[in-house]
Amino acid sequence: MLFSSSYCRPAFLATLGLALTTMTLSSSAQSPAAGTASVTLRTNQAPLLAPWSGPHGGVPAFDKVKVADFKPALEAAMTENLAEVAAIANNPKPPTFDNTIVALERSGGTLDRVQAEYGVWKTTLNDKAFGAVETEMAPRMAAFSDQISQNAALFKRIEAVYNSPATKKLTPEQQRLVEVRYKAFVRAGAKLDAPAKTRLSQINQQLAGLFTKFSQNVLADEADSVLVLKTDKDLGGLPASLREAAKTTATTRQVAAAGVITNTRSSIDPFLTYSDQRALREKAWRMFTNRGDNGGAHDNNALITQILQLRAERAKLLGYKTHAHLRLDNTMAKTPEAAMQLMLDMWKPAVARVHEEVADMLALAQKEGAPADFKIEPWDYRYYAEKVRKARYDLDQNEVKQYLQLDKMREGMFWVAGELFNFAFVPAPDVPVYHPDVKVWQVNDRTTGKQVGLWYFDPYARPGKNSGAWMNAYRKQERLDGKPVTTIVSNNSNFVKGKDGEPVLISWTDATTLFHEFGHALHGLSSNVTYPTLSGTSVVRDYVEFPSQLLENWLPTPEVLNRFALHYQTGQPIPAALVARINKASTFNEGFATTEFLASALVDMKLHLAGDQKIDPDKFERETLAQLGMPHELVMRHRTPQFSHVFSSDGYSAGYYSYLWSVVLAADGFSAFTEAGGPYDKAVAARLRQHVYTVGNTVDPAVGYRAFRGRDPKVDALMKQRGFPLASAAPAKKPATPAKPGAAPKRK
C-alpha cells in the first residue's frame, strides 16, 4: 500500500493457498463430529453464518451483525470446516486433482464469510467489546490453521497429487494450483515430525496473541492521545480546510478548544507541514512517532522482542536460516540478499539528496531570521520543505489542494478504470453497510453490462479504525464448477471530515494514495480465474504492490486533471501553469520520501536477519540507523514500536522492501505506455490486463511481467522518476526460474 506516498494494508491477501487464514477451536469443539453445533448456531447467528443473500450475487448483512455473534459464529464455522477437511483427508478413493485439490477449494465457504466480516470489525470498528473477542480468538484461530496444515492424511493426498504423472496433463492453471497448495503446506510445517508440529503450533498461537496485543496497543495510543489546540494562535499557519477539520474534531470529541489534531498520519502530516508553532509541531511529532513506545500498558517493545524470538525459532524448525529467508523463499526477490542489495543501491543517492534538501531548508530558515546555529529537526522537515517548494517552484500545496476534492478524485478513478479496464461504476444504495460513511458501487463491464463486482468505499477516520489506507477483498472472484462468482472489494482511508455539506479537500499525496489503493481494488475486480486460491490479489508479497503502484501514474495525466481536478468554489479546472509547476517539482523532496521508507525497510530486514539473538527494539533501531548513516533530520516512516505492517501479523515481516521492489516494476511498466501511444494506449492496456490484472496467481509473476513488458524490468525508470543519477542501464536482477509442478522441492 510506495509508503513514501501511501499506506496500504491489504488485510486479506492470503498467499498460503489454504481455505482459511489463521484459526483454532476450543477444546470442546475440536472434533469434526461436533458438527451439530454448527447447525444450531447457524439458526441463532444467521447474519454471520448464512450464505450471503440479496442483490448483486449476495452481500454481507453488515447491518445485522453484532459483536457478540463473532465468537460463536467463528467456532461454528471452524467446526464445519474441520468436518469438510476430514472428509477430504479420509476419502477412501485414491487422491486426484478433483477429489483433493478442488475439494479443498470448495471447502471453508462459511468460514470465509465469517472471517470477511470479522476483518471489517477488526480494522474499522475495533472497540473494547470487539477487542475482547479478538484477544480470545486470535490464538485459537492460529491453532485451527495448524490443525489443517498439519493434517498428515490430508497432506499425504496433496503430495500424491503433486507428484502424480497425471498432474502434468492438467491445464496450466490447475498445475499452478497444485503447486501453490503443496508448497503452502510444506511451508506451514506439513513435513515436520510430531514434536516439531506441536511446537510450531504453539509458536503460531503465541504469535497470534502477540500480534493482536501489538495492534491494540497502537490503536490505543492513537485513540487516547490528541493534540489540543487551545487558542486561535495555536492554529497559526494552518490552511482553512485544516482549521475547520480541527474545529470539527474538537466538537465531535467534546473538547473545549480551538481545535484538536488526532494522532493519525492523515492529521499529523498536514499539521507538521503548515503549523507555524514550532513547539506544537514538536509536540505533535513526538506524540505520533512515540506510539507504542511510551512505557506502560501500551508499550510494544517487549512484545517485539518476543515476536522476533518466536519467528526465529519457527524459521529454524522449518529448515530456514532466519525468518527473512523463510519469508522471501517464495517471492520475486527469492533471497534477503537480493532485496538488501536493491535497498542499499537506493540508500546512498537518497541520503545524498536529503543532505541537499536540508541545506536548502537551512538557507531559507536563516534568510527568514533563524539564528546561525539553527538546526532542522524532524518536526521541522515538512514545514521548511513546503517553504522551499513554494520559493523554488512557486508551488503551494495548499493551492493545489483547492483543486483536489475527494469526491471528484473518486470520479477520476472511475473514469480511468473505464478507459483502461472498460469498467463502469453504478451507485448501489440497496447494499447494507456497517457504517453510515460507507458507500457502495456496482462495477459492470461497459460493453456487456455484466456485473464484475462490488466496490465499497470507507473514506473517513473514526475511533476504532486503523490509521492509513488499505484494500480488502470480502469475496474472491471464481468460477469453480462453472458457476461465476463476482468479487466484492473495498478501499479504506482516513480522511478528516470538514463541515457538513462542504467538499473534503485532499493533498496531492493523499490523491496519489487514493489511486494506489484503487489499483489494488482494480486488481481484484479484474480477476478472471477459476480457482479462489489463485484469484485477484493472492500473489506474492513483492508483486502485489505492482498493480497499485502502477495506477498512481494516471493521477497526473492531463485527461484526469482537466476533467476532475476542479476548484472547490469556482469549478474551474486546475490551471495549466499550476500543473506545469507540479510536474517541475515532481522530484522535489524525494530524498526525504525515499529515505524514510528505506530506513523502515532496512530495519525490518535486519531485525529478521538477526536470527535468534535477543533484541532490544529501541536500541537495535538506534544502532542500525547510526550504522546506515541515517540523517538526523528525519526518522523511519514507521518506527519499530508502531510498525504494524511487520508486527501486527506476519504479512509484511521481512517484506516491507516489497514496496520498493514493486515500484521498480511500476516505473518500468508505465514506461511501456509512454514508449507507445501514451498513458491510455489501448494495446498496452490490453497487455496489462491480460498478463497482470486478470491472471491472479495463475502464472509466475516474473513470467507474467515479461509477457506484458517484453523483457525483465530495469531500474532506470525509477531512478529517473525520483531524480536520482542512473547507476547503470542494466536490467534488474532476473528472478530465479520457478520449479515446475512435479519437481522435488528445494531442501533448506
Helix, strand, coil share (%) of the chain residues, nearest 5: 55, 10, 35
Report the distance separating Cα 315 and Cα 295, nearest Å: 30
Write the CB contacts of 178 (distance below 8 Å, at least 6 apart in sequence): 97, 101, 158, 161, 162, 167, 170, 741
CA distance readout (Å), 75 to 46, 85, 519, 681: 14, 15, 34, 50
- Yes or no: say if 141 and 24 are a contact pair by the CB < 8 Å rule: yes
Report the distance separating Cα 154 and Cα 293, nearest Å: 44
- For residue 692, the 8-state DSSP code is I
**Residues 499, 504, 510, 511: what is their CA dihedral angle, to the nearest 10 degrees?**
180
- Yes or no: say if 114 and 74 are a contact pair by the CB < 8 Å rule: yes
* Beta strands 451-460; 470-475: pairing state: unpaired
Task: Reply yes or no on whether 179 is catalytic.
Answer: no
Report the distance separating Cα 340 and Cα 391, nearest Å: 37
CA dihedral sign, ordered 295, 299, 301, 306 = positive
DSSP-derived secondary structure for 56-103: TT-B--GGG--HHHHHHHHHHHHHHHHHHHHHHHT-SSPP-IIIIIIH
Q: Which among 730, 696, 741, 273 is positioned nearest to 526, based on CA atoms? A: 696
- Yes or no: say if 385 and 357 are a contact pair by the CB < 8 Å rule: yes
DSSP-derived secondary structure for 530-573: S-GGGSTT-S-HHHHTHHHHHHGGGTTSHHHHHHH-B-TTT-PB
Report the distance separating Cα 406 and Cα 515, nearest Å: 11
Report the distance separating Cα 51 and Cα 44, nearest Å: 14
* Beta strands 439-445; 423-427: pairing state: antiparallel
Residue 229 bridge partners (DSSP): 259
* Residue 3 main-chain phi, psi, to 5 deg: -65, -5
Write the CB contacts of 40 (distance below 8 Å, at least 6 apart in sequence): none
Cα end-to-end distance, the chain, whole Å: 31
Q: How far is CA 692 from the centre of its chain?
A: 18
CA dihedral sign, ordered 369, 373, 374, 376 = positive
Q: Which among 257, 264, 263 is positioned nearest to 234, based on CA atoms? A: 257
Report the distance separating Cα 474 and Cα 488, nearest Å: 5
Write the CB contacts of 518 (distance below 8 Å, at least 6 apart in sequence): 413, 417, 491, 548, 551
Run of H or E residues at 432: none
Q: Which among 101, 104, 120, 111 is positioned nearest to 75, based on CA atoms? A: 111
CA distance readout (Å), 135 to 28, 62, 90, 152, 515: 19, 22, 33, 29, 34
Catalytic residue among 517, 545, 596, 621: 517
Write the CB contacts of 483 (distance below 8 Å, at least 6 apart in sequence): none
Report the distance separating Cα 570 and Cα 558, nearest Å: 19
- Yes or no: say if 459 and 493 are a contact pair by the CB < 8 Å rule: yes
Residues belonging to the active site: 517
